[in-house]
Copies of this chain bind each other. A is one copy, B any other.
Amino acid sequence: MIDETSFFGDISGTREEILEATYYALCEHGYAGLTIKKIGAHFDKSQSLIYHHYDNKDSLLLDLLGYMLEQIEQQVLFSKEPPGDYIDIVVNEIFDETESQGCAFTQAVIELRAQTAHNEEYYELFRRSDNFIRKQLTQIIRAGVNKGVFDVDEPKESAALFQTVLIGIQTEYLTADTQTIAESKAEFRRYVETCLRA
């Protein structure tokens, strides 16, 4: 669960401090406007330390992206909790955590996702993360089928739609108002109750 203020709350090293500075600089200036100098403005120590740790802006952003995707993956980790309860938690994570992450986090992720067409490494990282998330979702839904709480023939298909909705909300969150997001959530809950729940 991500809290905007504590996202880098357990910072304990130069790498984490650089990532934090990069995150805030990315949120402030966007991908197109980001420079090492602007990252340095959010970094308390010498800017040369950034070059000591990273070859260039892109290797730094790649490290940040991996860090951020891990946060998103936490939202849908397979759990031993009863799947019938846990699916509600996942739906809340998709809709409410996206909101609590704040526009800055979501925007940074979408900006980097948009770069996948121009950057093979970003592409690979998103692919791996998306596949991981979809597999976790499939496991949760399959566990529910096995326990008789869900009635689904193809857990993979349900997981794929969950992922489309997760990515859709992340993207939509940049422009949609709270009411529209709430309406989408209400309908997605209706889908879970009607199409998943046994």
Instruction: List residues of A whose CB falls within 8 A of some B CB.
Output: 29-33, 103-104, 107, 110-111, 113-118, 123, 126-127, 130, 134, 154, 156-161, 163-172, 174-176, 180-181, 183-184, 186-188, 190-191, 194-195
Contact = CB atoms under 8 A, between A and B. Distances in A.
A164 B191 contact: no
A188 B118 CA distance: 30
A114 B174 contact: yes
A114 to B, nearest CB: 4
B123 A175 contact: yes
Contact of A114 (B110, B126, B127, B164): B110
Copies in the complex: 2
Given A163-B184, A195-B195, A171 B174 contact: no
Nearest to A190: B195
A117 B190 contact: no
A118 B114 CA distance: 15
A187 B174 contact: no
Nearest to A109: B114
B32 A113 contact: no
Contacts of A186: 154, 157
A39 to B, nearest CB: 16
A55 to B, nearest CB: 18
Given A183-B157, A190-B195, A166 B163 contact: no
18 contacts: A29-B118, A30-B117, A31-B31, A32-B115, A103-B117, A110-B113, A110-B114, A113-B175, A126-B174, A130-B176, A154-B186, A157-B184, A157-B187, A160-B184, A163-B172, A165-B168, A167-B172, A194-B195
